[in-house]
Structure 1
Amino acid sequence: MEFDAVLIEPRIREMTEKGFWHGKTVNDYFDACLAACPDKPALTSIVVSTGERRDLTWAELDVLANRAAVGLSRLGVGRNDVVSCQLPNGWRFVATYLGCARLGAVFNPVMPIFRARELTFMLRHGEAKVFVIPKLFRGFDHEAMAEGMRSELPDLKHVLVEGGEGARDLDAALFDPALDAEPEMARITTENRPDANAVCQLIYTSGTTGEPKGVMHTANTMYANLVPYAERLKLGADDVVLMASPMAHQTGFMYGLLMPVQLQARAVLLDSWDKALAARVVAEDGCTFTMASTPFLLDLANAVEEGGTDSSSLRTFLCAGTAIPGPAVERARAVMGTKIVSAWGMTENGAVTLTNLDDPDERSIHSDGYPLAGMETQIRTADGRIAEPHEEGELFVRGCSNFGGYLKRPQWNNVDADGWFDTGDIARADERGYIRICGRSKDIIIRGAENIPVVEVESALFKHPAVASVAIVGYPDDRLGERACAFVVPKPGHSLTFEEMQAVLAANNFSKTYWPERLELREALPATASGKIQKFALRKMLRDEMGLA
């Protein structure tokens, strides 16, 4: 696989000379863990549905990573081959990634909620050679889904299944103790290790184009974010990082997998969210930090209050993905005693802005922080001016953690000649440089920190014989940040029920996360003279009808 990460080479000299690109990969940071603290707890992996728990030291995790590297190598995986992984949070996810890193393979994490529609495109576009999945997760048969996709994936050579049988059995292929006897293990796990400017992660994000975009990252672009991030939050080797956000999402991957290795800190992983269990884990394992979206914060505060558990160890909860309601911050502080830090970022660049630990709580309520070292923000008005303080405009970012580009779609990179990346967000900044995200110029709804690909969902609904016109807009929700509403104009003599709308999306294999939770039938939709639907008018109409400010 050839990767066209065209945004990397032009920045290497500047970012290296300025000290933002450190020239280290996860292999280097992991080797440092082995040298400094091989017997220190590194990872705790908990299966929520069963309570199964596995604790690993750095030395034990190293053994599993080496087995994974040998197993993948025997399957023909080498430098620049793509391994797609749909496992939930757990030790197998981590060890598989570390095995890929030792081979120079490119890791492609994909969300467990994705189904055949999304996955077929991603795996075909990314030319995945191996697909790693659970057999069953949360009641869904991933193995049957993968089998149904095989005919459309010419590059896919192997499907490995946690809980599978025969040649598909993930544990037999990648984690069998017999792999320790491989005489070439030292060569296999070291010979093809990539440098810090090589693409090491391919992760897909939804956009306005109607298809997911493959974001390419290197070790340098990701650790250029993680190092100043950890410094601002004063995180170190004594911290215990709780991660329940999916590791197939950049939040879980960067801050629940990469960062603990960098810090030589312990990570505690939950494979799914259970607020009562999370509260107990905080108390029993002494978790000191976590990062998640607002619904997780609200749930955890409720669980601590309801269960009376001890949350005193949890010093910091970084909340990102949507604005944090003021009452949520006040309640979390009162119930848990935890500092709430707000942040803004994207898959393309990690967390770009954060508030400070010593900022007043109001700063987290009313802003999304200011840029980390090595990153810049710029807000431009519609007429191209640099916005004045408190003036809204389009948000651009530039710097060390910006991605390497979109795979096979460089025309969508949205980076100008001066290196500014167009985020598609609308923001304003105060005199101190703290920004506030005000909305999005691109047509995406963010529900519980997950982007909904509006164009694709609209297209599926438009094909229904009863639908003459459709537009999907977001509306505020205290728990998830936003929910989606479908406005539909039925054809004459037809109608559409909420259940029929759901059936259409189910038949088109959309994840339920993408399904609108409200349906409004209208005789017509507001439009411009050229016929373009005015979504801002629909949003206002909906808010007025719902009595929202």
Structure 2
Amino acid sequence: MTTKINMQPERRFAMLESGAWSDNIITDYLDQAVLTAPDSVAVIAYRVNEDERQAFSYRELDRLVTRMAAGLAGLGVAKSDVVSCQLPNGWQITALHLACVRIGAILNPLMPIFRERELAFMLGHAQSRVLVIPHHFRGFDYAAMVQGMRGELPALEHVLVIGGDHSADSFEQVLMQRAWEEETDTAALFADRRLGGDDVVQLLYTSGTTGEPKGVLHTSNTLLSNVRPYAERLQLGSEDIVFMASPIAHQTGFLYGLMMPIYLKSTTVLQDIWDARFAVKVIEAERPTFTMASTPFLTDLIDIAPDHGEALSSLRTFVAAGAPIPGALVEKAGTAVNAKVISAWGMTESGAVTMTRPHDDARCAIHTDGLSLPFMEVNIVDEDGLEVPRDTEGNLLVRGGSLFVGYLKRPELYGVDDQGWFATGDLARMNEQGYIRITGRTKDVVIRGGENIPVVEIENLLYKHPAIAAVALVGCPDPRLGERLCAYVTLHNGHTSLTLAEVVSFLLQQRLTKNYLPEYLEVLPALPRTPSGKIQKFKLRELAMDIRLDSATRQ
């Protein structure tokens, strides 16, 4: 597949000159680890429901990667082809990315929560050649779902199922139990497929305001120019152990749970399902020093920490992002989990852009989203693009090394100006010390537990409901998840009532992912509108500020 990227020669020159880009690729760091620390543990993977632990040294991981890469090439995966995977955290997704880089393919991680509607669009848009899925995960049959979609996906040649039977689509039988590396000259294959720093290696879909997911394209240069300064700011090294329960199919898990440990030649500990009590057991056993997750993960750990003594004492750093961090949480973290709480802000298009520092006062994590990382810049401007005074709210722009290189097949949406600034869609202010605070969003997105909810897409589905005349979705504050999704509707004449259960049932019939379902519904006689007829969502957000969701309204 051709992946046209937006690479201005001036940007490349400036990034190389500054040291942001090195043209290294992630397998260079794997090679270094295998050479200098072959028996060090690379990956430890826990499966919660199975209570299973698997561990691989760098030598063992490299062997798995070599076999997988040769196997993918043997299945016909060519340079620049897209290999998709819908996998929970586990060694397979780490090895799959490294294998794709070995043969010049592009990995497209997909969230396990996606169902037919989202999956059909993303796989079709990416023209994925291969899809790797679990047979079952959290009680859901992925193999059956994908089998029912094959007719819609003519480009999809291979579906490899992990943990299924021994049929022709078995991941284990097709890819891992065959000695592919003995059937080809892997050294020659890998040399021939060697990627440059500006070749695309990652395709991640992100929800936006258009009602259609956008495929974010990253290169080795953009990804690694984020990993390096991130690790340096947090003073992480090869002796550190990373604990990652955030999905690797999100940029957080991918950058800091998959790539960063390999860059550091350290160990990553992966957990496939978030379960706080299981996490305590894992942390006590593996003694990780660092983790990053959305605020609800921190809340859950702190809530149960008093029952577990010193089990969490190894954690030195907890980076929280996705929602403001309550002050009480920061205070409790210092005693309950022995961790310094670091606040951060970023996006799929850039990875972490701003982050507080380990030596900053705890109040920084409460009241700010940090300083920009090396090789990244932030600016706050008014509607005319002029920089606003300090402590004044404006539109947040970013530019620098880790900014992505385009949206797949949507060059018109790239939105980077001649000076390299990208409009994030967020509102922010900056204090005199250069720390920013996200104050709102110009994009029509609700973020629940760190997960972007595609508001426009869901609204479009609800407009198909026979009872709904108008609909607007907004977020209401939630102390644990940051926001929950609220639906305000008006009804067509002849319809007098509508319940949340009916709305949920309708959306499920439309094959919407359960994680995107609204949790509150209010029927109004009219939605607030401007004189031109545009719905005034800011007024609905004001109404939503008073919502207190109880168990009866949560799905």
TM-score over 0.5 for the pair: yes
CA contact (8 A) 2:104 2:194 kept: yes
CA contact (8 A) 2:40 2:57 kept: yes
Q: Which residue of 1 aligns with 2:409?
A: 408
Secondary structure of 1:476's counterpart equals strand
Q: Which residue of 1 aligns with 2:136?
A: 136
- Structure 1: gaps of 5 or more residues: none
Residue type of the partner of 2:266?
A: A
Q: Within 1, Cα distance between the matches of 2:408 and 2:264? A: 30
1:163 aligns with 2:163: yes
Q: Within 2, Cα distance between the matches of 1:375 and 1:384? A: 19
- Structure 2: gaps of 5 or more residues: 550-555
Shift of residue 93 of structure 1?
1.1
Shift of residue 22 of structure 1?
1.3
CA contact (8 A) 2:204 2:215 kept: yes
CA contact (8 A) 1:280 1:309 kept: no
Secondary structure of 1:390's counterpart equals coil
Shift of residue 123 of structure 1?
0.7
Closer, same or farther in 2 for the Cα pair 1:174/1:343, shift >3 Å?
A: same
Q: Which residue of 1 aligns with 2:237?
A: 236
Q: Which residue of 1 aligns with 2:514?
A: 512
CA contact (8 A) 2:216 2:407 kept: yes
Shift of residue 188 of structure 1?
2.7
Residue type of the partner of 1:425?
A: D
Shift of residue 177 of structure 1?
5.3
Shift of residue 183 of structure 1?
4.0
Q: How does 1:18-417 map to 2 (within 5 A)?
A: 18-164=18-164, 165-176=166-177, 178-417=179-418
Secondary structure of 2:542's counterpart equals helix
Secondary structure of 2:168's counterpart equals helix
Secondary structure of 1:330's counterpart equals helix
Q: Which residue of 2 aligns with 1:438?
A: 439
CA contact (8 A) 1:397 1:420 kept: yes
CA contact (8 A) 2:476 2:547 kept: no
Shift of residue 181 of structure 1?
2.7
Residue type of the partner of 1:117?
A: R
Runs ≥4 in structure 1, deviation > 6 angstroms?
none
Secondary structure of 1:424's counterpart equals strand
Once the two structures are superposed, residues 188-220 of structure 1 have per-residue CA deviations (whole angstroms, 9 ceiling, x without a partner) of: 333202111100001100010110000000000
Shift of residue 304 of structure 1?
2.0
Q: Within 1, Cα distance between the matches of 2:301 and 2:88? A: 20
CA contact (8 A) 2:107 2:203 kept: yes
Residue type of the partner of 2:11?
A: R
Once the two structures are superposed, residues 453-499 of structure 1 have per-residue CA deviations (whole angstroms, 9 ceiling, x without a partner) of: 00010011111100011000001101100001000101122121111
Shift of residue 178 of structure 1?
2.9
Shift of residue 332 of structure 1?
1.3
CA contact (8 A) 1:294 1:448 kept: yes
Q: Within 2, Cα distance between the matches of 1:8 and 1:401? A: 14
Shift of residue 255 of structure 1?
0.4
Q: Within 1, Cα distance between the matches of 2:130 and 2:452? A: 26
Q: Within 1, Cα distance between the matches of 2:544 and 2:448? A: 17
Q: Which stretch has the larger CA shift, 279-288 or 425-434?
A: 279-288
Q: Which stretch has the larger CA shift, 448-457 or 274-283?
A: 274-283
Once the two structures are superposed, residues 19-38 of structure 1 have per-residue CA deviations (whole angstroms, 9 ceiling, x without a partner) of: 11011101111111011100
Residue type of the partner of 1:318?
A: V
CA contact (8 A) 1:375 1:397 kept: yes
Q: Within 2, Cα distance between the matches of 1:484 and 1:293? A: 17
Q: Which residue of 1 aligns with 2:525?
A: 523
CA contact (8 A) 1:343 1:355 kept: yes
Once the two structures are superposed, residues 113-161 of structure 1 have per-residue CA deviations (whole angstroms, 9 ceiling, x without a partner) of: 0111011111111110001000111011111111111111111101000
Q: Within 1, Cα distance between the matches of 2:183 and 2:318? A: 43
Q: Which residue of 1 aligns with 2:552?
A: none
Q: Within 1, Cα distance between the matches of 2:184 and 2:2? A: 30
Q: Within 2, Cα distance between the matches of 1:91 and 1:246? A: 13
Once the two structures are superposed, residues 482-525 of structure 1 have per-residue CA deviations (whole angstroms, 9 ceiling, x without a partner) of: 00100010112212111110011111111111111000111100
Shift of residue 247 of structure 1?
0.5
Closer, same or farther in 2 for the Cα pair 1:59/1:468, shift >3 Å?
A: same
Identity of aligned residues (%): 52
Residue type of the partner of 1:354?
A: M
Secondary structure of 1:128's counterpart equals coil
Residue type of the partner of 2:336?
A: V
CA contact (8 A) 2:477 2:544 kept: no
Q: Within 1, Cα distance between the matches of 2:493 and 2:243? A: 54
Q: Within 2, Cα distance between the matches of 1:284 and 1:226? A: 26
Shift of residue 110 of structure 1?
0.4
Once the two structures are superposed, residues 346-405 of structure 1 have per-residue CA deviations (whole angstroms, 9 ceiling, x without a partner) of: 000000000010001100000000101111111012343311111000000011110001
Q: Within 1, Cα distance between the matches of 2:328 and 2:245? A: 23
Corresponding residue to 1:496 among 495, 498, 505:
498
Residue type of the partner of 2:169?
A: R
Q: Within 2, Cα distance between the matches of 1:12 and 1:480? A: 39
Secondary structure of 1:484's counterpart equals strand
Closer, same or farther in 2 for the Cα pair 1:169/1:10, shift >3 Å?
A: farther
Q: Which residue of 1 aligns with 2:542?
A: 540
Once the two structures are superposed, residues 29-64 of structure 1 have per-residue CA deviations (whole angstroms, 9 ceiling, x without a partner) of: 111101110011111011110111111100000010
Q: Within 2, Cα distance between the matches of 1:303 and 1:160? A: 38
Residue type of the partner of 1:243?
A: M
CA contact (8 A) 1:8 1:404 kept: no
CA contact (8 A) 1:66 1:189 kept: no
Q: Within 1, Cα distance between the matches of 2:113 and 2:309? A: 32
Q: Within 1, Cα distance between the matches of 2:154 and 2:301? A: 44
Secondary structure of 1:167's counterpart equals coil
Shift of residue 7 of structure 1?
3.5
Closer, same or farther in 2 for the Cα pair 1:183/1:126, shift >3 Å?
A: closer
Q: Which residue of 1 aligns with 2:463?
A: 462
Q: Which stretch has the larger CA shift, 289-298 or 156-165?
A: 156-165
Closer, same or farther in 2 for the Cα pair 1:247/1:546, shift >3 Å?
A: closer
CA contact (8 A) 2:475 2:544 kept: no
